[in-house]
Structure 1
Amino acid sequence: MKTIILNQTGIVDNLQYIESAKPTINSNEVLVKTISLSVNVIDYKVRSNDGALNWILGTDRPAIIGWDLSGTVVEVGDDVTDFKIGDDVFGMANFPGKGNAYAEFVAVPSAHLTLKPATISHQEAASATLAALTAWQALAEKGNVNKGNKVLIHAASGGVGHYATQIAKHFGAYVIGTSSAKNKEFVLQNGADKHIDYTTENFQEIVSDVDFVLDTVGGDTILKSLEVIKEGGTIITITTSSLSDEILEKAKSKQVNLSFLLVQSSGENMLQLAQLLENGTIKSHVSKIFTFDQMGDAHLHLEKGRTVGKIVVNL
């Protein structure tokens, strides 16, 4: 089967194409023939940085990265009862841990997958995995966002941000989304009640009494967000687990629940997302599609940091 491996981190040319044997599945796994996969920020970070790759995948080389996939079940483990051969499934496989999605066939624990709704494409399904799971786990599980909450989503036009906006609106929140001016209409169409152009406006001068903030940007965003969060509010960051003493002290003084989220693979959460995708409550925005042979181009495109929605790779 076609596989992309990494023997060492660095430039996109280090993504090497090889022919390898199909994976052997364990009793709790299914073998998925990949149709589409999605590329995330974590993909190029682990490709380019030894520390990131070792943290997520360990030190064994070669490594196969990639976690988001949508495809068809071609083999079922002895203990698997929820899927059968021929089922179309999607999910985020084995995260954190071995990825293996950059391949024609991927062994995935059945507990990480759910059935793909017939109403969406494999491209839309592959998109709604790591990014949508991150948004769901941040808002629903850690943030407990509900009706009437005021929610601030940074980079609301990005992969995680565009799902977070839609999920927050599903929960009945008032949503404020930041992005550049060119993506204003996209953010508003996703359901945001208010848009802030981060290139010309300081959100901390416009927004106040926010119940929940989702930081997908990093830098000084958390510190500035602490100026607009109400006492007892929640800030979730997906950018860093290393928080300065200044940030921690300020959060403590305002009794703000501040934490880092590392998304986890979850078939249960994928089922909840699948239901929202099926009825059109949330939609995947696929901005660009590459072929498997263009994986390096997909990484370079994403690294520019201007992607609206998601990037997909088709096999």
Structure 2
Amino acid sequence: MKAISYARYGGPEVLEYGEVREPKVGPDTVLVKVRAAAVNPVDWKCREGYLDGILEPVFPVVPGWDVSGVVVRPGAAVAEFGAGDEVIGYVREDFLSRGTFAEYVAAPLRTLARKPRALSFEEAAGLPLAGLTAYQVLVKVLRVKRGETVLVHAAAGGVGSIAVQLARHLGARVIGTASERNHDHVRGLGGEPVAYGEGLAERVRGLAPEGTDAVFDTVGGDALTVSANLLAPEGRLVSVTDTDVVDYGGRYYFVRPDPEDLGRLSALADQGVLSVHVSETFPLERAADAHRRSQEGRTRGKIVVTVGG
């Protein structure tokens, strides 16, 4: 089958388009014909070796954790899906090898849910990792409640844009940091935008003089210092980017596959609560260009690789 893979760590130039062996379908896996696969910052971080300390690579590695597609064949122990079912998945295993930038992926059952009917395959591919990150942080870690004020960093990005929508659905007021060009987009999601840069703390204080009840950080670095100073007395801080968050009394969180959480996100998309903005698509053979665009760090919503009909 055709796929993108890399045989060593490095920049986008190590990505090669060509034939790889079709994955085997184990008892608890599902063979999925890939229609689209979203690009996430973690993809290029894995490719460059930044996660080598926690994820063993089995070269050649096919990158990609997000997928939308159609079930070709369920494993012998799988009763939840049948051939022809449309699915989405956050196909992360405990090693790097068989990713989603390919014509087919063998996805563990624990990574899959039914695709929302309201979203195209391209939009649906952008939901799993970003949606699960937002859902698990807001609901399970920050435990956001109705009436609270939540600050979301990079509110126009892949994770941030879904976090804004989910927090509003939970009944929270949302302030979102974003570049000026994305302020209307953040407003459209239900958030109150504020610009990055010098004076951020004053701008947020102007909207929330008593401080914020929760901060969802997807940026790290200086944003953590600002965030810690903006918290109300009992405020909570979580970062999905920077482990230094613990130095500020917060928590670092790495998203996990969860089929029930993913199913809830799919249902919310069908109810019109969640939308996924796809900023750009690339064909599979141009996945290296998609990685380059992701590394620029200025994407509104998601970048998606399309694999075929």
Smaller-chain TM-score range?
over 0.9
Residue deviations 1:262-314, cap 9 Å, x none?
01111111101001101110100001111101101101111111100000110
The secondary structure found in structure 2 opposite 1:306 is coil
Paired residues of 2:37 and 2:306 also in contact (CA < 8 A): yes
The secondary structure found in structure 1 opposite 2:257 is coil
Count of aligned pairs: 302
Q: Counterpart amino acid of 1:9?
A: Y
**1:21 positional shift:** 2.4
Paired residues of 1:210 and 1:228 also in contact (CA < 8 A): yes
Matching of residue 213 in structure 1 with residue 254 in structure 2: no
* Runs of 4+ off more than 6 Å: none
1:150-299 to structure 2, matched below 5 A, reads: 150-192=149-191, 194-199=192-197, 201-204=199-202, 206-207=204-205, 208-243=210-245, 247-248=247-248, 251=249, 258-299=250-291
Which deviates more, 21-30 or 177-186?
A: 21-30
Q: CA RMSD in A?
A: 1.5
Instruction: Please list every run of 5 or more consecutive structure 2 residues that lacks an aligned counterpart in the other structure.
Output: none
- The aligned counterpart of 1:2 is 2
Paired residues of 1:204 and 1:227 also in contact (CA < 8 A): no
Q: Distance in 1 between matches of 2:301 and 2:267?
A: 20
Q: Distance in 2 between matches of 1:149 and 1:73?
A: 41
Q: Distance in 1 between matches of 2:190 and 2:280?
A: 22
**1:45 positional shift:** 1.2
- The aligned counterpart of 1:130 is 129
**1:55 positional shift:** 3.3
**1:95 positional shift:** 4.4
Paired residues of 1:68 and 1:127 also in contact (CA < 8 A): yes
Going from structure 1 to structure 2, the CA distance change for 1:95 and 1:138 (only over 3 Å counts) comes to farther
**1:40 positional shift:** 0.4
Q: Counterpart amino acid of 1:214?
A: F
- The aligned counterpart of 1:13 is 13
**1:234 positional shift:** 1.1
**1:62 positional shift:** 1.8
Matching of residue 304 in structure 1 with residue 296 in structure 2: yes
Q: Distance in 1 between matches of 2:83 and 2:117?
A: 16
Q: Distance in 2 between matches of 1:260 and 1:89?
A: 29
**1:119 positional shift:** 1.9
**1:124 positional shift:** 0.9
1:2-81 to structure 2, matched below 5 A, reads: 2-48=2-48, 50-52=49-51, 54-81=52-79
Paired residues of 1:66 and 1:100 also in contact (CA < 8 A): yes
Instruction: Please list every run of 5 or more consecutive structure 1 residues that lacks an aligned counterpart in the other structure.
Output: 252-257
Q: Distance in 2 between matches of 1:301 and 1:215?
A: 22
Q: Distance in 1 between matches of 2:141 and 2:161?
A: 18
